[in-house]
Amino acid sequence: MTRKPTPSMSDVARLAGVALGTVSNVLNNPEKVSTDTLARVQSAIDELGFVRNRAARSLAAGTSSTIGFVLVDLSNSFFVDMARGAEEVAEEEGMSLLLANSDVLEAKQKRYLNLFDEERVAGILLAPIPGHPDGLQRVRGHGRDVVLLNDSTDAKDICSVVVNNVHGGYLAARHLIELGRRRILFAGGDDSLVPVRDRRIGVERAIAETNGAVSLDVIVTDEVQAKHGREVGSVVLSRAAADRPDGIVAAADLLALGILQSLAGSDIRVPEDIAIIGHDNNRAAWDGVIPLSTISQPGHDVGASAAALLIEEIRQPARHVHKKVILEPSLIARESTLGR
C-alpha cells in the first residue's frame, strides 16, 4: 500500500485554480469568499481528502485553540468529573480539551506541563499533586496561562478553584447532630493532607457550636482507603458499648465503606446504633449494600469554573483579574444515616 503524502493547502489551491490565501479564507473566513469559488475549493478539499495541519496553523497564527489539562489521578472520579465539566465549557467556547494523567508522580506532572508548554497550548488547567504544584512556576514564567484546580497557591497572579472542605466537614457533623447524635467520631488521615485537615476543622466547628452537648473523638489513620476504615471499625468494636460513638464522620467514602464493612460483621446496626457519613460521593459509596451518606464534591463545577476562568484569561488578558473561586460541597443523605 503506497501511502500518499498528505495534501496541503497549496495542493488544494492548485486543483481549485485559486491562490493559497483564498483556500485559507475558505477555511477561516468563508464569508469573504464568493459562493462559487467557495464551492470549487470545497470540492477540491473533498477530492484530495485535505486535512488542516494544526502545527503549521498555530505556528503561523501564533495561537492555539486547545487547552491542556494535567490531572493527578484518573482513578478518582472527582477528577474525572472536573475533566467533564471543563470539557463542556471548553467545547461551548470552541476549544478542545486534551488530558494528561500525572498519576501522582511529580516527574510525570512536570513532563506533561512541559509538553503542553512546548505545544504552545492556549492555556493549562492543573489539578496538581497535593502540595506539589512543581513546574508550575516554570510554565507560568513562560507566560502561559494556568488555572489551578483543587489546590491553591500564595501567588496572586494565578487563578484557582477550590472546594470549601471546612464547610464539608461542618455539613457532615451538623447532619449527624441534627439526627440526634451526641458522641461523634471523626476518622481520617493526619494534617499533612490539607483536605482532611480542613474537614476535621469543619467538624470541630460544628461540635463547638453545641456548647458541649456533643462530644468529639478523633482517630487518625495512615491513609483513607477501605482497609484503614476496617481498622477504625475494629477499634470501635473493641470498645465498651458506652464508649462507642453514635455517629461517625469519615474523611473519605472508602474509609467510611471500610468502617461499614467491619461493623456489618457485628451486632451494631447502621444507622440505628451508629450513623456514618463519608466524603466525596464516590460511586463505590452509593452502590454499596447500605448506601452511604456523603458530602458531595462539586467536581463538575470545579472543572467548569476553572475552564471559564482560563478562557477569560486567554481572551481578555487585559481586563482579567486573578481570583480564587471557592465552591461549596453539599450533603447527600442516604441510608447510612437516615435508615430505610
Partner DNA sequence: TTGAAAGCGTTACCAA
Partner DNA sequence: TTGGTAACGCTTTCAA
Q: At residue 94, what are phi and psi to the nearest 5 degrees?
A: 75, 20
Among 38, 251, 257, 311, which residue interacts with its own copies (rule: CB under 8 A)? 257
CA angle 111, 317, 139 (to 5 degrees): 15
**Contact between 24 and DNA per CB under 7 A:** yes
The stretch near its own copies (CB under 8 A) out of 147-155, 209-217, 232-240, 280-288 is 280-288
Q: Please give the Cα distance from 109 to 125 (Å, whole number).
A: 12
Q: How far is the CB of 3 from its own copies (least distance, A)?
A: 5
Q: Please, which of residues 53-72 interact with DNA by CB under 7 A?
A: 53, 56-57, 59-62
Element (H, E) at 45: helix 35-48
CA-nearest of 293, 340, 307 to 168 is 293
The stretch near its own copies (CB under 8 A) out of 36-44, 48-56, 234-242, 298-306 is 48-56
Q: Please give the Cα distance from 277 to 268 (Å, whole number).
A: 16
Of 142 and 269, which has the nearer Cβ to DNA? 142
Q: Please, which of residues 314-333 interact with its own copies by CB under 8 A?
A: 317
Exposure string (b/e) for 123-162, b if CB count within 10 Å is 16 or more? bbbbbbbeebbebbeebbeeebbbbbbbbbeeeeebbbbb
**Contact between 6 and its own copies per CB under 8 A:** yes
> Looking at the DSSP assignment, which residues form a beta bridge with residue 148?
126, 160
120: region left, alpha or beta (phi > 0 left; psi from -120 to 50 alpha): left
Among 195, 288, 298, 329, which residue interacts with its own copies (rule: CB under 8 A)? 288
Interacting residues of 36 by C-beta distance below 8 A, sequence separation 6+: none
Q: How far is the CB of 26 from DNA (least distance, A)?
A: 8
**Contact between 212 and DNA per CB under 7 A:** no
**Contact between 22 and DNA per CB under 7 A:** yes
| End-to-end CA gap in the chain | 65
Q: How many residues form the binding site for its own copies (CB under 8 A)?
A: 57
**Contact between 320 and DNA per CB under 7 A:** no
Among 98, 268, 331, 333, which residue interacts with its own copies (rule: CB under 8 A)? 98
**Contact between 335 and its own copies per CB under 8 A:** no
Exposure string (b/e) for 288-323, b if CB count within 10 Å is 16 or more? bebbbbbbbbbbbbbbbbbbbbbbbbbeeeeeeeee
Q: Which does 124 bind (CB under 5 to 8 A by kind): its own copies, DNA, none?
A: none
Answer for the pair 111, 101: CB distance below 8 angstroms, yes or no: no
Which residues in this chain contact DNA in the complex, by CB under 7 A?
A: 5-6, 8-10, 17-22, 24-25, 27-28, 32-34, 36-38, 50-53, 56-57, 59-62
Which residues in this chain contact its own copies in the complex, by CB under 8 A?
A: 1, 3-4, 6, 49, 51-59, 64, 66, 74-75, 77, 80, 83-84, 87, 96-101, 103, 111-112, 114-115, 117-120, 138, 141-143, 157, 226, 254, 257-258, 260-261, 264, 283-284, 287-290, 317
